[in-house]
Amino acid sequence: MMLIAGVIVGAMFLMGGAYRLMENKKTGGGTRMYALITYAGLAAVVVCTMELLKPFLTFIPQEYLTLFVFAIDIAVLILGGDTILKPEFEDGGGKKKDNHLSEYRDRQNSYRPKNKKKKK
Instruction: Examine residue 86 and state whether it is found in any structural domain, yes or no.
Output: yes
Contact 44, 7 (CB under 8 A): yes
Q: Is the pTM of this model over 0.75?
A: no
pLDDT tens for 26-77 read 887 778 888 899 999 999 999 999 999 988 988 989 889 989 999 999 999 9
Instruction: Examine residue 15 and state whether it is found in any structural domain, yes or no.
Output: yes
User: How many domains does one find in the chain?
Assistant: 1
Contact 25, 93 (CB under 8 A): no
Instruction: Examine residue 56 and state whether it is found in any structural domain, yes or no.
Output: yes
Give the per-residue pLDDT at 12: 95
Instruction: Examine residue 115 and state whether it is found in any structural domain, yes or no.
Output: no
Long-range contacts, 88-94 (Cβ 8 Å, 24+): 88/21, 88/31, 88/32, 88/35, 89/32, 89/35, 93/30, 93/31, 93/32, 93/35, 94/24, 94/25, 94/28, 94/29, 94/30, 94/31
List Cβ neighbours of 94 (8 Å cut-off, separation of 6 or more): 24, 25, 28, 29, 30, 31, 88
Instruction: Examine residue 119 and state whether it is found in any structural domain, yes or no.
Output: no
Instruction: Examine residue 118 and state whether it is found in any structural domain, yes or no.
Output: no
Instruction: Kindly tell me if the per-residue pLDDT of 11 is higher than 90.
Output: yes
Give the per-residue pLDDT at 110: 62
Q: How far is CA 117 from each of CA 112, 114, 120, rounded to the nearest angstrom? A: 15, 10, 10
Instruction: Kindly tell me if the per-residue pLDDT of 14 is higher than 70.
Output: yes
Give the per-residue pLDDT at 37: 92
The boundaries of the domain holding residue 66 are: 2-109
Give the per-residue pLDDT at 86: 85
Instruction: Examine residue 54 and state whether it is found in any structural domain, yes or no.
Output: yes
Instruction: Examine residue 46 and state whether it is found in any structural domain, yes or no.
Output: yes
pLDDT tens for 66-106 read 899 999 999 999 999 898 888 888 765 555 555 455 555 56
